[in-house]
Structure 1
Amino acid sequence: MPELPEVEVTRLGIAAQLVGARIAAVAIRSAKLRTMVPQELPRLLVGQSILSLTRRGKYLIITCRQGSLLLHLGMTGHLRLVPAGAGAGVHDHFDLELESSLILRLNDVRRFGSIHFTSGDPLKHKLLQGIGPEPLTDELTGPYLYRKSRGKKAPLQRFLMDSSVVAGLGNIYAAETLFRCGMLPPTPAGSLSEADCDRLCDCIKKTLAASIEAGRVMDFSVREEKLVYFPQQLFVYGREGLACRQCGSAIERGRLGNRSTFYCPRCQS
């Protein structure tokens, strides 16, 4: 599932082609994604120029003079830049065609992504207004995490995945962050000390920054049937039974509710 690093890498990879471009056409092939794609998008967007491309949590925001498009990639969604006239596949659900003869195309096998439009401030949209601080900004601090964690019995990994606490952290990067911190996923969030929260904040930032830096090699003008965002060296996620890259112990898998979690029993103790 695309998490903050993958969404940010997407933004970085397509921004230069989108910002300043004028929208020539909009094609909605499959209106039924996680939510229904607004059918009035062609009328609202055609002829508008794109002023900016930003990100809030896991949402991309394409801002025009008379409104903004909000895109969420869901579980399997990805965006590509393809030439105008390029044939669409069965999972290519949405096109934003530019006057530059490029198409921004959404491919989503499982259709868990979503597309929304707002004529108001996009950051005040109901989907965005409750999101917590962006982790790669000064808004996320150790003291903030300490305040938010007080009295919380929730497992630490689930606490980190709460978008009202931290923007954009999903299962993968929560697990990787906890490995970097040497903390176990089931640790009650409320048991952390101020020093623990300072370390946790630092590890969140380092984990995400390293992943984004690795992903900047992606070329979003190369079409692939199945997008692998970027080669990343994961330390625990998805590595059950494999040797820990740090100590050699076997990585273990656990459950937190309906989610799997991965950890090293020696490094995270």
Structure 2
Amino acid sequence: MNYTEHNAKAWDVIGEGSSEDGRAQFTQMISHEDYLRAKEGLLQVSLTSSKYVPENWFPSLKGKKILGLACGGGQQGPVFAAHGADVTIIDISPRQLENEKLAAKREGYSITTLLCDMEKTLPFDDNSFDIIFNPVSNCYIENILPVWKECARILKTGGILMMGYVKEEHFMFEPDFSKDQALTTIYKLPFHSLRDLSEEKKQKMLKNHEPLLFSHSLTEQIGGLIKAGFLITDLYEDGDGGGLFDQYMNSYVAVRAVKAQFRMA
């Protein structure tokens, strides 16, 4: 099956608010009041689940060209626009992009939105952007190394990539509700929804329009960035907002990287 088409539809459903999926919180555009606070100088955006990105990760955003990669929904884009950035948002979900345009119309700023699959060649010239902002999303695609290469291509030298990802270990477990919501090890890594789920679970996910998931190793996440020509300048871990996994581990990592003047062979 074409998992990209399924995941695009799944995020449309989540973005419409017609899903009980916990991901719905990541599709709700910021309020008018939050936009006004951003206009006054507040810079609060997330790459992961709970924590805000440190403000010192950002240069002055006025006049900067920012790409929100798999970043639709009207959450981060309005904040960047409020700080004077030239913002482009790409996503595979038409609904997420529609929310982005609704936020821009409500607040009266300009934004560029494009329907794109981030696993494919991105429709931008080399050295087009100063910053790429990529919240947790590469768990919904099978191959992430081409993404890092494309990010390196379209970023200017010295440009900043900020990205969030789900730790690979997260995918080994499922809640065991018979044991007071303990986590039970079930899956071997790397995890691949279409390969590793039982047919019953897979069909349930498809019926409920839940996104299909893929785990990625530290070698792919951090090693892939380094080989694509990035220098890692900072990172932090984050939990899942008080959910079950927070009792055991931080499930998320946010990374700040800079495009270097060289790249590994």
Scaled to the shorter chain, the TM-score interval is: under 0.3
Which one has a larger percent helix, Structure 1 or Structure 2? 2
Q: Which has the larger radius of gyration?
A: 1
TM-score where L is the length of structure 2: 0.26
